[in-house]
Structures are given as structure tokens and as C-alpha cells.
Amino acid sequence: MFIADCHVHSCFSSDSNEKPENIIITCIDKGFKYVYFTDHHDTDFPINPENPDMDFQLDFDAYFSKLSDLKEQYKNKIEIRIGVEQGICPEVADKVSKLSDSYPFDFIIGSSHLTNLSIENGDPYYPSFYEGRTNVEAYREYFKTEAENVTLTDGFDIYGHIDYPIRYCPDKTFKFNFKDYSDIIEIFFKRLIEKGKGIEINTAGISKIGYAHPHIDILKMYKELGGEIITVGSDAHSTENIGFGFDIAYKLLKELDFNYYSVYKDRKAEFIPL
């Protein structure tokens, strides 16, 4: 169905304990052609005293050393492609750009985990992000930051889980309505497409919010605006979730009349027919 899962985390990410070897073996067993490692790095991520181990700082030298060794070890069984998921917010955009050119990445996911370098009002994971404003206002701020980030850095290839806050809104009765944000998302997509960047279908959303990121209405706009680059990833942090929901993602792409999906090598998109 798909030849790779393009969004996978190992123990090099602060929020995963999975050994890279286990990920490789799982991808071989699932018949994937490539195995992608896209471990977290959020530059200057603010440390929450309650979770001091969640600093999301990637040891790049150790990362490349380990994965390069594994590349050689498994070269006759599967091709390992080394990526990263870079957290982007305006304060760190320059550092994101510099880092993207500092290592020989195959693939870089740019993701907004923060709107600013603050746990209190910059991280949609925490209820405080939504305090003092409506949920619509909170979501609109998030999308505005994404649209701004695209103008500030080229240090990514595709933008990850575009509607990320929907996972964590504390008001579980609140429903996402695309019309409330379509103006901002249109600006975001026009900037993204003009720069030759893509997006992902992130199937982790299926278990968290009932559908893959991004919402189907967002995907429709991307297609209507001429967006063509789209990767597929599970956002797995353990082996049991690798390839999760890929049957649903495939049907979604076909339903929306996408003809191709993409994988990356040397930060260049390869288009694979559906």
C-alpha cells in the first residue's frame, strides 16, 4: 500500500523508549521499502518542572552515529533514511534554518508544538493555552503562527500535524469547524505551496480525535490550491503503532483524487503513484 512510514520516533526522542533496532525489524516485517527516523528536536523547548526529562533536545552526533551503523548493518534488508521532526516557532526560526543545513538529513518534518517559548500560553497540550480566550481564538492563534513560520524558515520539507491543538483542547464538547479558520489556513497553504513544501497525513489523529490529521476539509483546500506533496506517517512512538491507520489514509487520498504520495531522500521529494 505505502512503501514507508515517514513519521516514526525512537528512544532518541524524549517521549519514546523504543529501540531503533526494533523499529527497523518492524518495518522489515511490514514489508516497507524504507525506514524513516524522525526524532524530536524542539530548539530551546521550555522545561516544565513537572516533566524535566521532556526537553526534546536531540543528540545529533549520537543519533547520526547510531543510525549510520544500523544503515550498514541492515543495508541488504531495508534502506534507512535519517530525518528529524523540528519544532518551529517564531523565536527559533533562525536556529531551525541553521540546523537543517548542519547535518545530511533525508527528510525534515516541521511541526508547531508551541506558538511561543512558553509552557503557560504557548503549548496547546496544556489547558492554560486556552484560558482567557475562546477555543476558536486559541486555534486561530495556532494557525496564524504556522502561517508566519513558513515565511521565517526553509528548514523543513513538509509541515506536520497541521491541526495539532485539536488533540488537546480541554473542552471535549468543542467541535472543529473549518470555516472558522479557512482564511488563515488558505494563507498558510499559499505560502507553503509557493515555497515547494508539503504536508503530511498523520494517522495518530485517528486514535486521538477520530480522524487523521489534518481534517478532511483542510486536505480538500490543500488539493484545491494545487498542493501535491503529501507524506504519510503514523507518528509512532512505539513499534505497535508503526503503519497504524494506513488503510484509512490510502482511502482518504483516493477519495480526494490525489494521484501520488511522497517520500524523501536527500530532502528531495519522490512521487509514488497511488
Q: What is the DSSP string of 117-158?
A: S-HHHH-TTSGGGGTTS-HHHHHHHHHHHHHHHHHH----SE
| Domain enclosing residue 52, as ranges | 20-273
**What is the residue-averaged pLDDT of the chain?**
97
Task: Please state the domain count of the chain.
Answer: 1
Q: Which three cell numbers stand for residue 191?
A: 505560502
pLDDT in tens, 20-44: 999 999 999 999 999 999 999 999 9
- Confirm whether 75 is domain-assigned: yes
Letter for the amino acid at 258? F
pLDDT for residue 2: 98
Span 173-182, pLDDT tens digits: 999 999 999 9
The pLDDT score that the predictor gives to residue 120 is 87
Q: What is the pLDDT of residues 215-256, one digit of tens each?
A: 999 999 999 999 999 999 999 999 999 999 999 999 999 999
Q: Is residue 7 part of a domain?
A: no
Say if 4 falls within a structural domain: no
Q: What is the CATH number of the domain that holds 244?
A: 3.20.20.140
- Which residues partner with 261 through β-bridges? 272
pLDDT of 134 above 90: yes
Domain annotation covers residue 9: no
pLDDT for residue 49 is more than 90: no
CA distances from 202 to 34, 52, 241 (A): 18, 27, 12
